[in-house]
Amino acid sequence: MALIIQNGDIPYEDALGPKYADIEATWSLPRSEMRKVLAEAISKETFKEEFLNDLPPPLAAAIPPDLWTLHWSLMTPRRKEIAIDLIAGLKENRAWFPQHRTYLRENRPPALIVWGPNDHYMPEQSARAYLHDLPDAELHLLGGGHWLLETHLDEVTALMRDFLGRVHSR
């Protein structure tokens, strides 16, 4: 078993970026109000902001508007409800963070961490937090953001192939 981790939700609450504070602020609202606020936040403009996130202008220019336009065109009322459930459920996901950290610490699977540090949800400190429990992990900070594969696909692919080749040859 091996792990490849790329700008995903992390089990280290103290290393989350400022965008998580926006989500956490909704958790104190009554459920119906929270869902209303989250529903209002799901828009084509929000999708655009999500894809561009905290990227410097040259990288932001490399992300085609087709991405958020296509995502928004696929947003049905049912998919919007699923998105609301997903965001609202992040609070409950935190309950498994201690078990996740314990698993990583006790099992220390080989791990490749490829990260776009220009990410308001999971900045560079989020990637480095994994090293607390996976001190032997390979960490590669690339210049992108949350949607790293959109800006650094070739680099990530090469790192993954190399990593998997070494891990599977053991």
**pLDDT of amino acid 14:** 87
**In this model, does residue 68 exceed pLDDT 80?**
yes
> Taking residues 90-117, what's their average pLDDT?
93
Same domain, 88 and 36: yes
Same domain, 69 and 45: yes
Question: In total, how many domains does the chain have?
Answer: 2
**pLDDT of amino acid 10:** 77
Range of the domain at 10: 3-15+96-168
Helix ranges restricted to H, the chain: 18-26, 31-41, 44-52, 57-61, 66-73, 77-88, 90-93, 97-107, 124-129, 148-168
What pTM was computed for the model? 0.88
**pLDDT of amino acid 50:** 87
**pLDDT of amino acid 102:** 95
> Taking residues 116-137, what's their average pLDDT?
94
Same domain, 118 and 64: no
Higher pLDDT, 138 or 1: 138
**pLDDT of amino acid 65:** 93
Same domain, 83 and 123: no
Nearest partner of 56 among 154, 151, 167, 144, judged by Cα: 144
